[in-house]
Amino acid sequence: MISCDWSSDVCSSDLFFSISGLQTNLFKSKVLFSPNTDPLTKTTISNTLGISSTNDLGKYQGFPITLSKSPTKSFQFLLEKVQKKLQGWKASLLSLAGRKAILQQCISSIPSYFFQAASIPKNICQAIDREQRNFLWGSTSDKRKIHLLNWGEISNFVMNFKKILQKG
């Protein structure tokens, strides 16, 4: 983060840069302006800094740097990530135990990383659960299969089994 006084053109980071020998990579840098900022002001500041402006800062380690006003829209990528991962597996070729192992080992770790940093909207969590249930029982958008056990019982079994393994 660079703090500047525009009236004197002196940046507080100059001392840091001179001591450390580091430099700012302007090609990797972006400026994000408020939607209320005048376009002429945006252009002036971008040209003065030599840094391009952007409307979206993207992601850092898979997590969006800026969130939209709609929490569901902000975390839609998480649902898409789970869906993409599940599509890579052929549920019809795996046994029930194999599908359950994939859900436990691969899929459940995806949202847990993001739970550490943010509160995920309830409807996104429900959609992820729905995707996992459909994968476990072999349901597709074309064909719905009967769910032999309540999803809550399966989730409780998984948590209790993990506790037993940790104790032993």
Most confident of 10-24, 28-42, 135-149: 28-42
The answer to pTM > 0.75 is: no
| Residue 79 pLDDT greater than 60, yes or no | yes
| Residue 61 pLDDT greater than 70, yes or no | yes
Which DSSP string corresponds to the chain?
Answer: ---EETTTTEETTHHHHHHH-----TTT-EEE--TTS-HHHHHHHHHHHT-EEES---EETTEESS--S-HHHHTHHHHHHHHHHHHTS-GGGS-HHHHHHHIIIIITHHHHHHHTTS---HHHHHHHHHHHHHHHHT--SS-PPP--S-HHHHHHHHHHHHHHHHH-
Q: What is the pLDDT of residues 103-113, one digit of tens each?
A: 877 887 777 77
Choose between 84 and 56: higher pLDDT: 84
| Residue 159 pLDDT greater than 60, yes or no | no
Choose between 66 and 122: higher pLDDT: 122
